[in-house]
Amino acid sequence: MIPLNSIDKKCKAMIAQHYNSIHVETALLQQIKIKENQLKIAQESNMLYVVEALQNQLLKLQCELSEPQDVEIQALMSLLDD
């Protein structure tokens, strides 16, 4: 039988990790929005090299946005292992 105190600590850790991932996701969404606005301005100004650089940066941010979900799945799986 698993001690209740151990479960409580793991739940608190998962909740803290969840709030942290929400904060990271919010920050990434803000950065993406800023890059999209910058990209729009660069496209309107016909700044081809800046457009290319911003598109690369935007792609990296969008890839980072999908990563926190993987961390949450690993946290849930670790609970099942115990």
Look at the pTM and tell me if it is higher than 0.85: no
Amino acid in position 24: V
Domain count of the fold of the chain:
1
Greatest mean pLDDT among 4-8, 23-27, 28-32, 73-77:
28-32
Q: Does the residue 76 lie in any domain?
A: no
Model confidence over 13-53: pLDDT tens digits? 767 766 677 788 889 999 999 999 999 999 999 999 999 99
Q: Does the residue 49 lie in any domain?
A: yes
Q: Does the residue 1 lie in any domain?
A: no
Within 10 angstroms of residue 7's Cβ, the number of other Cβ atoms is 12
Domain hosting residue 54, numbered range = 33-67
Q: Does the residue 42 lie in any domain?
A: yes
Q: Does the residue 4 lie in any domain?
A: no
Q: Does the residue 19 lie in any domain?
A: no
